[in-house]
């Protein structure tokens, strides 16, 4: 049964009418009254920039916070391959329903139908919005917007700007944000980190921040607060995320009462450059778009040491094409990642450490010519060559799965509100739309859907009844208490005086999570992680060394706070993975697989969202359920064969 706090507020009506019904019934704020409401937006990536710019354009008084020096540095800038939309420009049979269906199926039937349908509906608006802003999407010869395929779909619905789609989209959203900053409707706080969320009388009253240059701790009050703070993929230490991505904002809200949903749903992306040595601190993505033309293979026989060019066709295993003929190299990420792991585990890995598989463009170059391949993927090929010293036009790229995206996040209802009234979450920071596995090119779509087309409506529904009522100011005792707690916490890190850096602990913690809560999980491994993590956390608390002081730029001190939050999250991730006794999407429990090694869901017991409540000790967090109801799409075994 669904827990009473997890009411999803899904509107009445047929699936295709729900969003229209919501908008027809929601409360409105008069344009002249909007400026009386202050809205805090934490994060300036695609979700944050679009939400802040749109709400400011509507007339709200908006403040934006980012720990970067410029909003343009948000991790969204790194997105490469593209953004989905059900435009059907290709005439290949796409529709809102198909995008909805593909996304629910791609997430292995573990997402809320109503949210996903709305996402598919507003995907149409996103492309128009971004084109109107001048985003230079790729175009066909005739001038129409070009599209390509991404995993988990048999259509070409992915719009792109070479391998720099996130960059171009963020520049578009940032332009609009900058316009509002210029108009004075948005106040930007940069190089400032959220360190706490403040509740007064059960609603979110604002946030507490720490200035990363001066160390100043300061409170900010608002009528409503929106977390657009990205995902937690860096919990694994090695990931494709920007180095600064972290869970702190979401976790600090979680500690104050926002439930954290499905933390064990983490996406391991199949096409990343394999790790080169043990000291590496970052992994690089090679976009999924490359699988439109690249063919994935390993030698047929284990231990084959020959260079790729010397291995004849008959001695190659194009395993994705063999196992999943309908989707081939564009099988979804969870499935492709596991297949790559199995190939490497069977001794057929390639490269100096035998820890990769081939992504080969030989056939595409022969068919299309090197110029066309360069036009489509040139910047990715260049990036690959710079990192590996190998020329992917002449020999296959080597790729291997790596942590990339997190489907879990703050639990939100249909309005994107967390379990704390007045606190919202959007973009990768919430859990909302991707179930147990996100399809490629759907994160940018979701971030922009949330920011441009959902929040600006739903937030008004919350604010309208607050008109004329005063809100607590920053002199309220709850703000003062949170400021003091923040001071104590950061001073506490400085005072430990131990011997090991935050980075050391992050690496060790990430390894435990990767080994036991990564691509494959078992009850035994998860229990091991749950005994090792608290022990390592104790060492962190007594042996951490943070140099410098708290009153000037101190990245080691910043990192200490972020690593501490990763420790707590890591424990809840493993507990979530342990409790979910089934395999679904990216959550693969080795005990639950069919004869062909595919994920075996248990719909009877686990067709629900798991949302965790903080109790003061992450090992004692309480698991709540939101039952998922499938009224439009029938639960079925997910197959890409």
Q: Is 405 in the site for ligand FAD (CB under 6 A)?
A: yes
- Helix 523-543 / helix 502-517 crossing angle, nearest 10 deg: 170
Q: Is 230 in the site for ligand FAD (CB under 6 A)?
A: yes
Minimum distance of ligand FAD from residue 213's CB (angstroms) = 14
Q: Is 609 in the site for ligand FAD (CB under 6 A)?
A: no
Q: CB under 6 A: which stretch of 111-119, 356-364, 441-449, 508-516 binds ligand FAD?
A: 441-449
Nearest to 41 by CA among 204, 247, 254: 204
**Residue 286 · residue 356 · CB < 8 Å:** no
Q: CB under 6 A: which stretch of 97-105, 376-384, 423-431, 537-545 binds ligand FAD?
A: 423-431
**Beta-bridge mates of residue 193:** 210
Convert 377-403 into a string of H (helix), E (strand) and C (coil).
HHHHHHHHHHHHCCCCCCCCEEEEEEE
Instruction: Give how many residues touch ligand FAD by CB under 6 A.
Output: 44
x/- contact string, 233-252, with ligand FAD (CB under 6 A)? -------xx---x--xx---
The catalytic residue among 291, 333, 562, 575 is 333
Minimum distance of ligand FAD from residue 619's CB (angstroms) = 24
Q: Is 106 in the site for ligand FAD (CB under 6 A)?
A: no
Q: Is 189 helix (H, G, I), strand (E, B) or coil?
A: strand
Q: Is 168 in the site for ligand FAD (CB under 6 A)?
A: no
Residue 509 tokens read as 């913690």
Residues 181-220 touching ligand FAD, rule: CB under 6 A, are 193-194
Q: CB under 6 A: which stretch of 336-344, 365-373, 394-402, 436-444 binds ligand FAD?
A: 436-444
Residue among 74, 120, 402, 544 that touches ligand FAD (CB under 6 A): 74
Minimum distance of ligand FAD from residue 426's CB (angstroms) = 7
* Nearest CB to ligand FAD, comparing residues 164 and 583: 164
Residue among 8, 54, 76, 114 that touches ligand FAD (CB under 6 A): 76
Q: Is 67 in the site for ligand FAD (CB under 6 A)?
A: yes
Q: Is 48 in the site for ligand FAD (CB under 6 A)?
A: yes
* Nearest CB to ligand FAD, comparing residues 153 and 442: 442
Minimum distance of ligand FAD from residue 532's CB (angstroms) = 27
Q: Is 147 in the site for ligand FAD (CB under 6 A)?
A: no
**Beta-bridge mates of residue 360:** 295
Minimum distance of ligand FAD from residue 399's CB (angstroms) = 13
Nearest to 230 by CA among 399, 554, 451: 451
**Beta-bridge mates of residue 423:** 225
* Nearest CB to ligand FAD, comparing residues 44 and 114: 44
* Nearest CB to ligand FAD, comparing residues 54 and 240: 240
**Residue 588 · residue 338 · CB < 8 Å:** yes
Residue among 53, 290, 364, 441 that touches ligand FAD (CB under 6 A): 441
Q: CB under 6 A: which stretch of 6-14, 302-310, 439-447, 583-591 binds ligand FAD?
A: 439-447
Residue 59 tokens read as 């007339």
Residue among 11, 106, 151, 166 that touches ligand FAD (CB under 6 A): 166
Q: CB under 6 A: which stretch of 43-51, 213-221, 311-319, 350-358 binds ligand FAD?
A: 43-51
In sequence order, which residues have a C-beta less than 8 Å from that of residue 279 and are 6 or more positions away? none
Minimum distance of ligand FAD from residue 193's CB (angstroms) = 4
DSSP label at 622? E
CA dihedral 498, 500, 501, 507 (to 10 degrees): -140
**Residue 262 · residue 623 · CB < 8 Å:** no
**Could you tell me if residue 330 is left (phi over 0), alpha (psi between -120 and 50 degrees) or otherwise beta?**
alpha
Nearest to 614 by CA among 601, 624, 625: 624
**Residue 576 · residue 610 · CB < 8 Å:** yes
Q: Exposed/middle/buried for 608, CB within 10 Å: 0-12, 13-18, 19+?
A: buried
Q: CB under 6 A: which stretch of 64-72, 217-225, 356-364, 581-589 binds ligand FAD?
A: 64-72
CA dihedral 413, 409, 612, 264 (to 10 degrees): 130
State residue 623 phi and psi, 5-degree precision. Answer: -95, 125
Residue among 116, 173, 444, 463 that touches ligand FAD (CB under 6 A): 444
| Position of minimal CB gap to ligand FAD | 45
Q: Is 299 helix (H, G, I), strand (E, B) or coil?
A: strand
Q: CB under 6 A: which stretch of 86-94, 111-119, 426-434, 472-480 binds ligand FAD?
A: 426-434
Does the annotation count 252 as an active-site position?
no
CA dihedral 78, 392, 332, 316 (to 10 degrees): -160
Alpha-carbon span 575 to 568, nearest angstrom: 11
Cα 298 to Cα 288, 305, 321, 361, 393: the distances in Å are 18, 11, 12, 14, 18
DSSP label at 587? B
**Residue 588 · residue 436 · CB < 8 Å:** no
Minimum distance of ligand FAD from residue 245's CB (angstroms) = 6
Residue among 151, 152, 427, 518 that touches ligand FAD (CB under 6 A): 427
Footprint of ligand FAD on this chain (CB under 6 A)?
Answer: 42-48, 65-68, 74-76, 78-83, 165-166, 193-194, 228-231, 240-241, 245, 248-249, 285, 404-405, 427-429, 441-444, 447
Active-site residues, by number, are: 333
């Amino acid at each position: 049964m669904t827990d009473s706090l997890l009411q999803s507020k899904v509107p009445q009506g047929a699936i295709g009418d729900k969003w229209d019904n919501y908008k027809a019934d929601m409360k409105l704020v008069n344009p002249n009254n909007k400026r009386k409401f202050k809205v805090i937006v934490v994060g300036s990536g695609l979700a944050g920039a679009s939400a802040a710019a749109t709400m400011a354009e509507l007339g709200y008084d908006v403040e934006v916070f980012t720990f970067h020096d410029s909003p343009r540095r948000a991790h969204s800038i790194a997105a490469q391959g593209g953004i989905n939309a059900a435009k059907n420009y290709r005439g290949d049979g796409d529709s809102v329903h198909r995008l909805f269906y593909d996304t629910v199926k791609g997430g292995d039937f573990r997402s809320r139908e109503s949210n996903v349908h709305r996402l598919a509906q507003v995907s149409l608006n996103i492309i128009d919005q971004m084109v109107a802003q001048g985003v230079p999407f790729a175009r066909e010869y005739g001038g129409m917007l070009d599209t390509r395929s991404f995993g988990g779909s048999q259509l070409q619905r992915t719009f792109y700007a070479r391998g720099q789609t996130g960059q171009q989209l963020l520049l578009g959203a940032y332009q609009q944000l900058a316009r509002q900053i210029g108009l004075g409707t948005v106040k930007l706080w940069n190089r400032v980190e959220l360190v706490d969320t403040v509740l007064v009388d059960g609603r979110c009253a604002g946030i507490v921040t720490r200035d990363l240059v001066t160390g100043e701790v300061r409170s900010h009050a608002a009528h409503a607060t929106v977390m657009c703070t990205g995902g937690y993929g860096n919990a694994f230490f090695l990931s494709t995320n920007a180095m600064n991505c972290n869970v702190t904002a979401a976790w600090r809200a979680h500690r104050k009462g926002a439930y954290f949903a499905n933390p064990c749903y983490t996406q391991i992306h199949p096409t990343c450059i394999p790790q080169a040595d043990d000291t590496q601190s970052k992994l690089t993505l090679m976009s999924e778009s490359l699988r439109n033309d690249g063919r994935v293979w390993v030698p047929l026989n284990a231990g084959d040491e020959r260079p790729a060019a010397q291995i004849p066709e008959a001695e190659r295993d194009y395993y994705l094409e063999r196992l999943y003929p309908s989707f081939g190299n564009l099988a979804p990420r969870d499935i492709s990642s596991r297949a790559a792991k199995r190939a490497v585990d069977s001794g057929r890995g390639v490269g100096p450490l035998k820890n990769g598989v081939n992504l080969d463009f030989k056939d595409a170059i022969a068919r299309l010519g090197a110029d066309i391949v360069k036009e489509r993927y040139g910047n990715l090929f260049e990036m690959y060559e710079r990192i590996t010293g190998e020329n992917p036009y002449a020999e296959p790229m080597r790729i291997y799965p790596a942590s990339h995206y997190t489907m879990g996040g703050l639990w939100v209802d249909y309005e994107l509100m967390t379990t704390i009234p007045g606190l919202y979450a959007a973009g990768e920071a919430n859990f909302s739309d991707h179930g147990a596995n996100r399809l490629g090119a759907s994160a940018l779509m979701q971030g922009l859907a949330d920011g441009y087309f959902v929040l600006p409506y739903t937030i008004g529904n919350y604010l309208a009844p607050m008109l004329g009522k005063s809100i607590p100011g920053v002199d309220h005792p709850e703000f003062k208490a949170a400021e003091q707690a923040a001071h104590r916490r950061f001073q506490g890190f400085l005072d430990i005086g131990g011997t090991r850096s935050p980075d050391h602990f992050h690496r060790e913690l990430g390894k435990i999570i990767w080994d036991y809560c990564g691509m494959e999980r078992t009850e035994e491994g998860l229990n091991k992680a749950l005994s090792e993590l608290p022990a390592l956390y104790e060492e962190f608390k007594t042996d951490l060394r943070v140099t410098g002081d708290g009153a000037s730029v101190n990245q080691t001190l910043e990192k200490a706070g972020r690593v501490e939050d990763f420790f707590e999250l890591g424990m809840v991730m493993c507990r979530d993975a342990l409790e979910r006794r089934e395999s679904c999407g990216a959550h693969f429990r080795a005990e639950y697989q069919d004869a062909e090694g595919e994920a075996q869901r248990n719909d009877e017991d686990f067709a629900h969202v798991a949302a965790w409540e903080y109790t003061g000790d992450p090992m004692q967090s309480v698991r709540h359920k939101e039952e998922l109801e499938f009224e439009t799409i029938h639960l079925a075994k997910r197959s890409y064969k």
